């Protein structure tokens, strides 16, 4: 696997995550039917469209400009909770995206900044059945991989595994935030759609930079 990724590979990585959301948006809405309005998949699909448009309109602007354009597009188009939350994630990522190629440490720093940006928008903590339950372990896996001198592909693969496990871990939890919290114990036994979206994103990110990826 490559030790670093350049701008074109970053774009491919993001597109991989977006495609994973697009392919699974109906499942996201089915999950949300049990916990909310059933529109999470539709909101994420709008986010995908806005992000793809931003990529098309920012062909050579650099990583920071690209991620910021994606962020503002998502926040303008997605609506509901996904807009500001996922938009803040990408906006934070853009704040830490330097120029030039990214090694695993730089990718970890980028997602750590994204997580920090997201946390400015929510008080949710791990264990409260939100996207945080998948994002925090994914970011921690990236940092641990970078400190173990893993390459970018291996780091993203471990992050994807951690995100998937984090999303699955939300099943026995009771929702503490958003509309789902009003359902109380009825939310127990259902996987959180926001955490699942994070899992799909990281799965797509990882697949896109794998040796046999697109």
What separation in angstroms does the CA of 131 have from each of 7, 65, 89, 139, 153? 27, 25, 11, 12, 23
Per-domain boundaries in the chain: 4-209
Task: Tell me what pLDDT residue 79 has.
Answer: 67
Q: Residue 92 has what pLDDT?
A: 97
Q: What integer pLDDT is reported at residue 80 of this predicted model?
A: 72
| 8 close to 110: Cβ distance less than 8 angstroms | no
CATH code of the domain occupying 4-209: 1.25.40.340
pLDDT at 213: 56
**pLDDT beneath 70: ranges in the chain:** 1-2, 78-79, 182, 211-214
Q: Largest Cα–Cα distance in the chain?
A: 49
Q: How far apart are CA 195 and CA 67, in angstroms?
A: 21
């Amino acid at each position: 696997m490559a030790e670093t990724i350049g701008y074109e590979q970053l774009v491919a990585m993001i597109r991989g995550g977006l495609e994973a959301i697009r392919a699974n948006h109906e499942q996201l809405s089915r999950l949300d039917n049990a916990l909310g309005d059933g529109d999470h998949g539709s909101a994420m699909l709008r986010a995908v469209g806005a992000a793809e448009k931003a990529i098309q309109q920012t062909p050579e602007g650099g990583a920071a400009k690209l991620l910021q354009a994606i962020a503002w597009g998502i926040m303008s188009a997605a609506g509901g909770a996904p807009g500001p939350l996922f938009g803040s994630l990408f906006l934070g990522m853009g704040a830490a995206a330097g120029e030039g190629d990214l090694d695993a440490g730089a990718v970890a720093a980028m997602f750590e900044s994204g997580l920090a940006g997201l946390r400015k928008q929510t008080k949710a903590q791990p264990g409260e059945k939100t996207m945080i339950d998948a994002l925090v372990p994914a970011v921690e896996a990236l940092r641990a991989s970078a400190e173990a001198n893993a390459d970018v592909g291996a780091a993203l693969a471990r992050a994807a595994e951690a995100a998937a496990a984090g999303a699955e871990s939300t099943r026995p939890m009771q929702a503490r935030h958003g509309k789902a919290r009003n359902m109380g114990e009825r939310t127990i036994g259902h996987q959180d759609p926001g955490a699942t979206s994070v899992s799909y994103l990281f799965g797509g990110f990882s697949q896109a930079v794998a040796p046999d990826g697109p």
